[in-house]
Amino acid sequence: MRVRENLTRLSTLALERRRQGLLHRFPPLAETLRGTVLERYLTCGKPNCQCSREKSKRHGPVWYLTVTLGPGRTTGRTLSAEQAPRVRRWVRNYQQTKEQLEKISDINRELLRREGKKARA
């Protein structure tokens, strides 16, 4: 959960500079993906396989991407070992993008609040 910063103490100029600085901190937007990458270890179901007898001998890791599309709607797919690092980076980029957008939104809301105060004065 993100803790919102108290922006009321900053000057309007400081808020505008902070907002501009946040624009430069975005990761490459073409390399973003909303989802979760899971690392799983599986049992194959063969009765004579070590994976059925010992948890430490399970097959894997198997990388899995899961994406929630809406209430009760989830999709997923397995990833190759080569894809996993890239997809994890894309998911991390998505989270960073989302965090930066929230910070910019907070600043814009504070700037709008100040404009409203000036108009009423």
Cβ within 8 Å of residue 7, ≥6 positions away: 15, 106, 107, 110
| pTM score | 0.80
- Give pLDDT tens digits for 21-70: 999 999 999 999 999 999 999 888 888 888 887 777 898 899 999 999 98
The CA distance from 93 to 85, in Å, is: 12
Any idea where the domains of the chain sit in the sequence? 12-113
Helix spans in the chain (H): 12-23, 50-53, 83-120
Q: Are 79 and 63 in contact (CB under 8 A)?
A: yes
The CA distance from 84 to 58, in Å, is: 19
- Give pLDDT tens digits for 10-24: 999 999 999 999 999
Q: For residue 38, give the 3-state DSSP assignment.
A: strand
Q: Is the pLDDT of residue 117 over 90?
A: no
- Between the alpha carbon of residue 41 and those of residues 22, 32, 38, 57, the distances in Å are 39, 26, 10, 9
